[in-house]
Structure 1
Amino acid sequence: MNEVIYSKEELDDRSEAELLDILKQSWGVNDNKIEVWGELPALGDTTFGFLRNPHLVSTGDRLYYPVQGLEIEPCSFFIAPQDAQKCGSKEHNSFVRCELELSPESERSKHNNPLSLCVKRGTGESLRSLPKEIPLEILTNPNSDEDSSQFISKSIYDFYHEKAMGDLDKLVKKKQSEFELKMAQREIDAIQSLEIIQDKIQENEEKRDVAIKLVEKLNNKQIELDKIVSKLTQDKVTKQTEIQTLVASYTRIEAEMNNKIKRLKEYVADKALFLKTFEFIDEEVLELFIQESQPSSDQVEGISFNDILNGDYQQAVSYIQSYLVSQDILYPRHIIENYITLLRTKDLVILAGDSGSGKTNLVKSFAKAVGGKSIIVPVKPNWTSSEDLLGYYNPLEKKYLATPFLEAMIEAEQNPTIPYFICLDEMNLARVEYYFADFLSLLETRDESPKITLYSEDESSHVLSELKAVVDIIQSTKEKYSKEGVISFIELLKDETLNNQLRLAFGFSDKDSLIKYHSEIRRMLSGVMSMPSCIKMPANLHIIGAINIDETTHYLSPKILDRAHIMRFESPLLSNWDEILTQVESYEFEDISKPLLFNIDQLGYRNNYPRFDRDNAFCKLFVELNKDYFHKLGVEFGMRTIRQGLNYLELFQEVNDDSSMAINNFMLHKVLPKFTFDGNKHVGEQTKLELVDRVFVERVKSLLPNFEEYSEVFSAVHAIETVVKNAKANDGVVNFWS
């Protein structure tokens, strides 16, 4: 028989066929059925029974269940009433031969024995003869004389009884020895299992202690976090209150300022005839000041971006490129795609390239292509402050001295439906951070139009107060001396009586000049009326810079690079003109003689940058690049730059769905222009230049699988390789601009 003993867990979830196979294999049964014989005790008053001391018919082996806890005691099998009454007796034991089958599942579960068997109904019969091998249990049974006589004679019984008794002693000793060995092995196994359990208990206790400490630490951190959150909440409420107070104050101040201007306008309108009569103001200035702002330029005739092209920016790029070609201006398509996307970001756009590469021409020609106006403002080398850009208020002349840049802004404000493009030409002839930094900070306001204060609103109040005094004195003096015929300032001065009275009223001496005072009042009034004290950044205005990089110019500071987009240019002589013409021919526009007209917000509007999302693929990529390369190289790269990139990518998808090209452009706009450092310095075991040359460039190539198809001047990979090449020839100094 097979000595394998199964645990009850090993038998769980086995099918009935599998359980029967296990029993057959364990008992050495080769037939399809399990036939046994054994003792059926006297039934007495019961109708059923249990077959005791069962043996296999085929081998005579006594049967034990191969289940842990049940392998020592012999099996017994339930006999249903039908077979028990047929084969049994109420008064004495009987020997029965039968076939076995698995007990019902409920009985197996009840007796906690997955292999429990019972007598198969209808197979029970009285045992008529002994098997070939006589089991010792029969011969040694004290009641054998009575029960065995039905199938063996007394002499055979005595013979086998005597022989069996000797064999029985040997068998008992053998079984006892085997039992003792088995029990000893079980004791050893139990001790080993106990030691393992004790080790596990100790390990679990150690883990429990660690877990308890960790929970305590987490609880402490949670308490600290709750305190921080509570403080932040309080600070937020405080800040919100402060903001609300500031907004209310700003609203009040703005209302007061507007009211001052309104009062001045009303007063000037009321005294218009008097002021013109006494030459305090010209009629043109009066009309400009009193009347509401009217467009000074006529809207050009063109085709509608919405109606004709259905708001499709890819079609818009095709049309603009075609329109420019019709004007003998050839730009590759990707330049138009990139430029219109940058304009729509409403960030500062800086065009970089050699002289004659077409930077200012792009500003002019694009403005014409969209029915807009371009204004080129040359930057002077001596510009050192924002006053050089926006002008200043001259207290001596009592007027604001405007610049061409400011006048262009005011003109854009007066023509809100026409796109304006102001180009600061040769932007880096002076240090940009000196004259443009304050203005650039204003451009960072994304949720509303930034407001630029030119001079104090108190000036207008001062002018109004002094003007009122002058007018009242003149009028009262005229009325007092009945001089209503005086109709000009010159006549007023010629009248000796009025002249002396005015000097007395103004507190003038003989040395003071009424003419000079009149001129001063005239300048003050003209200055306030012709130039507003503040101006909002017009929604239709785009600021573009154009720079050359040579020994006469200044490099752009990190503050400027962090807030601007750098778009490089190449000489138009290097462009593939045949390819451009082929592209334009494929568009098949019937009429490209008119500019393409956009609504102002379709060329860009100021809104907050997209939110930084840690799960966004672009955010993940540049956080990884910053950690692995930019930070190690000393290149400044922050959250705002990533959000600017998200904004650019979102807009670029509307002109080109090539995400790799968008990343290539972003690298050129925002990352590589910051590559100015000493490549000889070490980062770990390698220099910064080696990190760029051996690692970074390969990483960028993997991001841009089609980089070989890009024009060299517009390829981030080529730009990096050029930077490395120039650095090796320049003692390891890395400079994107060299």
Structure 2
Amino acid sequence: MRLAGGFYGFLEDLHHPDTGLPLPPPTKTSKAHLRAFVPGAELDVLKAFGGTGSFALAELELSPKPEREKQGDPFACKVRPLTLKPFTSVPESWMRVQHREAANQPLILASIREALEEQLRRETADTVTKLRGETADAEAKLREARSALDAAVLEKRSLDGVHERSLRAIAELTERVAALDAEFLHRRVTLEGRLRELEALLRERGERLVALELLDRTDLEKVVPTTGRADARSGHRFQDALGGDFRQLAAYVQAHLWHKDTRYTRAQLLDFLTLLRTRDLIVLAGDSGSGKTSLVKSVASAIGGRCTVVPVNTTAS
């Protein structure tokens, strides 16, 4: 198809729609087989099909008599209105034609190439449009994910701050509770010491009053008993169970502590038990963490004794 001046056009290089072979000339002098006139009313259709260089199918009819006389060709043709349509694929009937003239081959090849290119353009355009849509959706989802991630990061930072503050508060409360426990234990030990001093003072003064026969001993015993309460704890007497042998006691304590994953040599335990027999002040020397306090607690636990840890100020002289 070729446009001429924008007001009309021509179909050129005409071929038969069923065989694809070039149209034969009606007469030796006629050129009706070479081109057909396209009225101006069909130009919009031509432009929609791509204009110059595009292929199309159409039905032909004789041009008006004045036009044929003007061209000097009684077989001059024009496109019948509303029959022009695009040539998008090669008909199967063309493939069944066995003998083609050489001049027909370029048209067939060009038609196939143009049809394939047009199909490829459409598919490519559809694919590009689809990919653009998917890309836009993916970018939108990515923005949403980034926003959610930023919000999660901010929330995590906030929670981390709350967690750190909670840990500090717990640490402060733990230190405060430990300080209160130490203070309570210190006051308890102090009060117990003062109570013992008071009992001793009352006993001493009471004995003087009894000696002066100013106080009956029965009344003194009611105020300051000489014997404490009976020990209600269950157990065995050292003399009955081990015959009063401290070596056997050291072996027993060592075996008892071994079952609790606590290790001391028998010599260490025997020395400590021997010192306890003196009923005097015992000073254990050693680096921090060497097991001094653990030794006292472990032996007390093994023999059913009482162990009270009294915190002291390390700077005290």
Query: For this structure pair, what is the TM-score category when the shorter chain's length is used for normalisation?
Result: 0.3 to 0.5
Q: TM-score, normalised by structure 2?
A: 0.36
Asked which structure has the greater RCO (Cα within 8 Å, sep 6+), the reply is 1
Higher-strand-fraction structure: 1
Larger radius of gyration: 2
